[in-house]
Structure 1
């Protein structure tokens, strides 16, 4: 690529192009005027006086001499005042006649009618102090106006041409920036790393290419880490579930034997512990699957159908936890985009959490759905203890649990899973304490 230059220099180059073009345009106008003058298409501004000193001049002699001048004229007979010849337009005849009758030059504005005569003829010349077209059809257009219009149009074309090339060059550079920005972080090989003649754009492009490669490397490394985590969790779950399955079988064998009341309590406690372990590992597997989920998160979903299916599960959970459950729909939205399975699991996790920490004795949990121009909101509220500041900051983190006001019934995975789902939907998880009391969790997703 050739020599590079700054953006300021490129703009000044465009300005200089316009200035040089303007000078050339002025020279072109002067040259055009000189050329038209030479071929007799426009009259000059100087005043001439035709000499008719000889009485032997004929009309042909006068007409032959007048061909050398770009002026209108009329030849009058001195005896009869009739027009014997000339080159003129009818609208100017009264002025020619007035000059003939007065035998003097007369001036009308910028036009002078010059009178000359001998014994037989009188000649009146029409001369304009301003250049004008000698062609009677074109004379309706002032030559000065013609030059102004020519200059104005030429200047506009010149500016448009120069600015167009400037904008085109800038646009090409912006398109190069857009091209790499849209593929930022993608593992792709660009056939040719685009360069720019403008230093500022070239620096931006080089930086974007470098950052894109770094980001692509980090994303790929994170993807491998997630796959490794998923594999490790799956392997760990398998390794742990195997002895748990054996233990579960042994407990079932013990139940078949005669045991006393205390032993029966021990067996029941072990069964509950096994259930907790099983639920814990299933939750961990679900979370790691979400990390590696490559499914489509832009499927078109019917909001009504989604809420009908979701409500079936939420009503069952509300019965299990003995909760007064309410569904409030505050939107006219019919469809949105997302992943049905992931959203359902996330909302169920939040709902279970809300049920567990609702106010004992009169548990109330509500699910409200509303939207704005960009996002769809699922708000789950309970009438339990409000969130602490620590919980609002860290509840979305894996394995975070809060001791104050919480019974330790969960493992710190549910809200972390919901946060992951929200991020996959280009949204967020929001924890807040409304003025009406209680606590609420809002799952915000892009529509």
Structure 2
């Protein structure tokens, strides 16, 4: 690989190739001019002056100027001294005007490339330029400056080659970039069958190597995720199995006791049976949500905040809890459109957690606030607050702050279930600690009217 395949080396070679072509074009121009001069296609820049010098003595010693003695390589005009008019010329009309002006003003002629030779009755004005010209008169008149034409052609050829190479270099870079973009897109899509294409430059090979490492890390991450889900499913299966065994025992014994029940115990037996049914319902929902990845089926109803809080307090009191303080700051008549049973269960999970974290002599607060678009339920306990880890992972399935997962009959299901219920109601769940370092769990539900 080495340094030869780097972008800087490629660019340096690219510059050298352009410079080499430029030198070749210049040498080609020199060759064309040299060939033209050697084959009498072009006249040297000083040729008109040399040819004029050959006829100078003849003209100055004659009465009149014979055009036949003037070499065909010269551009000239013959003036009559008496009339100051041109009597013979091979100049174009534009150059005839300049020659007339040069004849009248001798200083102008010197500064504008005209030679003047006088005979007794006529004057010869020879036009010259210090540049190559065509030897052929017609070509010289049609193309007075072939050097400029040659220069323009040279620039066009060089620019064409330059543009071609720039586009070629650009296509190469774009192709290299597209390879990286393709691999990056596959990684984003979590495609595990990525084919890593060959790239030309070392810099791109380094990036492609990094992407290959990233892909390997992605594969490992997905494998870990699959393993985590498999482990989660096993834990749920074990948990459900562990719960069902004592539940079956309780249910069987309750059915036996029910045979001898009397009117006084009627309500107690009814509560126990309802609780058993509720536990069975919870177990089935855990199966549906976590094993089958199904969303909860919502049965939304309209209920006022006051009615909802009454139901929440009633459910909490059934559990023998009496240290809950409810502070309702919502506007009178405010309604929610929710699945009442699910949201009550979700809020109760938070309340029960808060009650368990709170010392017996302390109170748990449920504070209800309202803003323009939502209702907020803040459950504030009297305990020591959440740990940093709990604030980050509190809603993860099976997460519990207890090292021994069954030390207080917690299995890490409550907040996971709660968060799912709240999210399905387009709400938000947030764990934090307040200024007194006590736990503060906020549930925010949107205010939406029931559909008609």
TM-score tier by shorter-chain length is 0.5 to 0.7
CA pair 438-250 structure 1, distance change in 2 beyond 3 A: closer
The alignment yields a C-alpha RMSD, in angstroms, of 5.5
Alignment of 1:381-392 (within 5 A): 381-382=377-378, 384-385=380-381, 387-390=385-388, 391-392=390-391
2:78 maps to 1:75: yes
Q: Answer yes or no: is 1:251 the counterpart of 2:254.
A: yes
Q: CA 1:243–1:440 in structure 2 vs 1: closer, same or farther (change >3 Å)?
A: closer
Alignment match, 2:317: none
Structure 1 position 320, deviation (Å): 1.8
1:281 aligns with 2:280: no
3-state SS of 1:107 partner = helix
Structure 1 equivalent of residue 177 of structure 2: 174
Runs of 5+ consecutive residues of structure 1 not aligned to the other structure: 296-305, 328-340, 371-377
What does residue range 401-412 of structure 1 map to in structure 2 within 5 Å? 401=400, 411-412=411-412
After superposition, residues 22-421 of structure 1 pair within 5 angstroms as 22-31=22-31, 44=45, 48=49, 50=52, 51-52=55-56, 53=58, 55=62, 58-62=66-70, 65-66=71-72, 68-69=73-74, 72-78=75-81, 80-101=83-104, 106-108=109-111, 111-118=112-119, 121-129=122-130, 147=151, 157-184=160-187, 186-190=190-194, 193-209=196-212, 211-213=214-216, 215-216=218-219, 218-220=221-223, 222-223=225-226, 225-227=228-230, 229-230=232-233, 233-234=236-237, 237=240, 240-241=243-244, 244-245=247-248, 247-258=250-261, 274=276, 277-278=279-280, 281-282=283-284, 284-285=286-287, 288-289=290-291, 292=293, 309=300, 317-322=308-313, 324=328, 351-353=347-349, 357=354, 363-366=366-369, 380-382=376-378, 384-385=380-381, 387-390=385-388, 391-401=390-400, 411-416=411-416
Distance of 2:211 and 2:253 partners within structure 1: 62
C-alpha deviation, 1:202, in angstroms: 2.1
Q: Secondary structure of 2:380's match? A: coil
Q: Aligned partners of 1:73 and 1:193: how far apart in 2?
A: 76
Q: Tell me how far apart the structure 1 counterparts of residues 423 and 34 of structure 2 sit (CA, whole Å).
A: 75
CA contact (8 A) 1:433 1:439 kept: yes
State the alpha-carbon separation in 1 of the partners of residues 76 and 30 from structure 2: 27
Preserved contact between residue 318 and residue 325 of structure 1 (Cα < 8 Å): no
CA contact (8 A) 1:283 1:413 kept: no
Check whether the contact 2:312–2:344 (CA below 8 A) recurs between aligned residues.
no
Distance, in Å, in 1 between the alignment partners of 2:344 and 2:22 is 73
Q: Structure 2 CA distance, aligned partners of 1:369 and 1:34?
A: 91
Change (3 A) 1:137 1:442: farther
Rounded Cα–Cα distance in structure 2 between residues aligned with 1:344 and 1:16: 78
How many angstroms does 1:126 deviate by?
1.7
In structure 2, stretches of 5+ residues that fail to align are 314-325, 332-337, 356-361, 403-407, 445-452
Are 2:6 and 1:6 equivalent residues in the alignment? yes
Q: In structure 2, how many angstroms separate the alpha carbons of the residues matched to 1:344 and 1:150?
A: 86
Q: Is the 8 A contact 2:378 2:443 kept in 1?
A: no
Residue-pair matches, total: 393
TM (norm. structure 2) is: 0.63
Partner of 1:439, secondary structure, is: strand
Number of the residue aligned with 1:335: none
